[in-house]
Structure 1
């Protein structure tokens, strides 16, 4: 018995060692990856990359290994790109090679490669082209979408006036109004601010983005082969996304029952029409799964990114009251006195360079997705003297670009002059990659730019922001910093002007 048990253990150890050797050979086969810290079998670089501070760990490794290095997330090699020049060289100059969507294990159970954000290859190209076309047809970048934003801004101002200067937590004030803009495009109508289902959906989305930045999620993304079988908080996000999927699927059923192919009402209708046109094509990407998941991509991203940026922007403006009081207000009032109307339009952005610079600086400092959404190379790729095998995951560290000292004089400070020339005119900064860069740039960039400008100016023209603590005591550090930077909760008073 003892000999048999010892033999079993010996054979198991041999099998384990053989597995390690085979896996290590497989993941290094045919390539010359950039240098990086030596990984431990199975654990990878867990000792160097903290699940609760992944971005910070990568920035520390950059100091030793330079702007391009390799880390092992468990058994998976990931090439990390830091700084503007390196990220631009990859995502723009070699955009086709780096246009794949990398692995994000925590959402793979929900999406399984479907939906425009997580898709690859022809599926991604088809869905992205279709989504951009429909969004433009429904007004992105045109006056009709501007009118929707202005209408929602009006509803927001009404809600803020009802507070009569009492302290509020702004999260759901902002997410309700922003979400209604994208809802009008994908679902064809807005929600009432007190709609219980709407409020529940916003809570689900807020929790989803919060969960994306927990250490549990980082562990899942690193060791999915193990974590998927273990109980714990990391499973919560799966259920959040599934509930959101169920809601979108219910909206699809409602649209399908009342569909008029000659009069599409929204994004869902347009997708359904295309599905019916391609019903005899067994290889079509216009199917129910892609419809539900692409709609969810647009709905969730179009809600949380802009509302979180506005929330963080108000916090920064209270931290730096001289910005709000001394310059943005003067700029807006000067424009109103000349143009003789009460609200700004998108066309006014070029006439309000300081305000535009402030918005860019808010986005830069929030750094909403510091590590970028993972990419992967679509073929064997030569890059800076290395050979990245097809399918290698790549992290373009957008946070390292947005705080690149070569392009931003005070990378860690709130300094709107980063986007102004000596004459006070707005100037572009090529290292501004808040919407990423290259072929995988954010689908809703044009919409987000319009919303940030119109909402911020609408609120500041009508209210003064009043913090509950002295500006020096305001902490602008994000509550969570992982896959996304989640602004800390806070209260403020909005005093009518």
Structure 2
């Protein structure tokens, strides 16, 4: 794969950019972290295996230490490993690492708008508004609990129709989880038979995998060249454009009957904010930003929780003794006469521990999202200049042998004390940490507990007869289990 990249006839503008940056690329800054040897121009793009790059980066730390450097194309990247190092960077020095780097593949879609990949005043305004609005519509409240439990009724009815026969849980689980964020953002859910919505769900997974692959890194490293070439990276642009058209249609429908005095959802509240701040020169609220913020919430609120639940099905089928212990606890505390509520959580320590262990072993966002230094920072004995991309390797924390008794084994005991009480660990950071921690963490935690507990109360999961457990994964922005079929049998 190396020779075609190196032999490309680079357009004049890109060639000039590479030439002007040549001294900067190859002159190592003083007191900069070490790292593996990098090839000219492409750097370490072909040093790592992008199908398991999180494992490669964790292995590099054994040789180069918890803070080391890679070069992807023209961009120097500092990789952080281990809980203490990541805590120091994202929490203790969080203000200096609160920005996101510009990634051309994302920038070509969102035009530096939205709430996830933006910076500065725009990001602060949009994040604050999103958190306040989601809280207003029930995140962390009983009203949203009811929406999750109602959605599970639709989902369980659909799954029960398979009568214990094998089925692929991917799209149906995505659809159910997405309906929660859709209720908050759009004010309504989508039927599982909605072909257009099902298509969108399937496209999310495809796009996130490509973005996390070598195609995504090539695009971000050589955008001028890659924009002109065919390949999977072009598919990403087509997918998100189609999703944005879908979102704009929803926004236009809201604008037809929007009532500022009676907001129904996030879009209505945003339209009110546009009207309220229209004369504020420092305001960042407009219809274009609404579309991009809606995209961020829609995708982030769909894929990660759904992926975690699908890992949960795999682990419960692989470890039936753990599944039975969870079900016994649920039967004892809740029984079969009512649905679980968040109030039950403190009385279900083993179930809670299993959910956390699914998150730890599932390792859903293995490399978090990238940060960039907005000023010079010191990490350990190294000085990181302003403008350097930082990758917090969450895999190195989730599988750290110094933090977990059996890091590579599914063990709910990691989250239980000697008395069997649930005990959350400081090194458990699946939602990252600091100022850029996932803004939907509270929503995700609620969904995971209610959905998982409801599944365990209602069904028993097992692989089809003669089928081995599929523990392999697809690496992308998220780490998802490979496509599989499973049997869900109704419990008596």
Q: Shorter-chain TM-score: which interval?
A: over 0.9
Q: Relative to 1, partners in 2 of residues 1:321 and 1:26: Cα closer, same or farther, differing over 3 Å?
A: closer
Task: Report the counterpart of residue 429 of structure 1 in structure 2.
Answer: 425
Task: Report the counterpart of residue 487 of structure 1 in structure 2.
Answer: 481
Corresponding residue SS for 2:243:
helix
Whether contact under 8 Å (2:45, 2:214) holds in the other structure is no
* Larger mean Cα displacement after TM superposition, 450-459 or 82-91: 450-459
Q: How many residues align?
A: 480
* Larger mean Cα displacement after TM superposition, 352-361 or 160-169: 160-169
Matching residue within 452, 456, 467 for 1:456: 452
Whether contact under 8 Å (1:210, 1:486) holds in the other structure is no
* Residue 104 (structure 1) shift: 3.2
Corresponding residue SS for 1:387:
strand
Task: Report the counterpart of residue 217 of structure 1 in structure 2.
Answer: 216
* Residue 242 (structure 1) shift: 1.0
Q: Is structure 2 residue 388 aligned with structure 1 residue 389? A: no
Q: Deviations over 1:31-69 (max 9, x none)?
A: 642122233331212343334442233223212210001
* Larger mean Cα displacement after TM superposition, 24-33 or 228-237: 24-33
Q: Is structure 2 residue 325 aligned with structure 1 residue 331? A: no
- Give the Cα separation in 2 of the matches to 1:280 and 1:27: 48
Q: Is structure 2 residue 260 aligned with structure 1 residue 280? A: no
Task: Report the counterpart of residue 62 of structure 2 in structure 1.
Answer: 63
- Give the Cα separation in 2 of the matches to 1:121 and 1:27: 30
Select the structure of larger CA radius of gyration: 1
Alignment root-mean-square deviation, CA: 2.2
Matching residue within 351, 355, 361 for 1:359: 355
Q: What's the TM-score once normalised by structure 1's chain length? A: 0.92
- Give the Cα separation in 1 of the matches to 2:440 and 2:29: 38
Task: Report the counterpart of residue 32 of structure 2 in structure 1.
Answer: 33
Q: Relative to 1, partners in 2 of residues 1:169 and 1:373: Cα closer, same or farther, differing over 3 Å?
A: same
Matching residue within 368, 371, 375 for 1:375: 371
Whether contact under 8 Å (2:470, 2:484) holds in the other structure is no
Corresponding residue SS for 1:97:
helix
Q: Relative to 1, partners in 2 of residues 1:28 and 1:383: Cα closer, same or farther, differing over 3 Å?
A: farther
* Residue 28 (structure 1) shift: 6.1
Gaps of 5+ in 2: 1-10
Matching residue within 401, 407, 415 for 2:403: 407
Q: Relative to 1, partners in 2 of residues 1:49 and 1:212: Cα closer, same or farther, differing over 3 Å?
A: same
Q: Is structure 2 residue 469 aligned with structure 1 residue 474? A: yes
Task: Report the counterpart of residue 3 of structure 1 in structure 2.
Answer: none
Matching residue within 429, 432, 438 for 2:434: 438
Whether contact under 8 Å (1:312, 1:366) holds in the other structure is yes
Gaps of 5+ in 1: 1-11
Task: Report the counterpart of residue 5 of structure 1 in structure 2.
Answer: none
Corresponding residue SS for 1:163:
coil
* Residue 226 (structure 1) shift: 2.6
Whether contact under 8 Å (1:183, 1:189) holds in the other structure is yes
Counterpart mapping for 1:100-179 below 5 A:
100-179=99-178
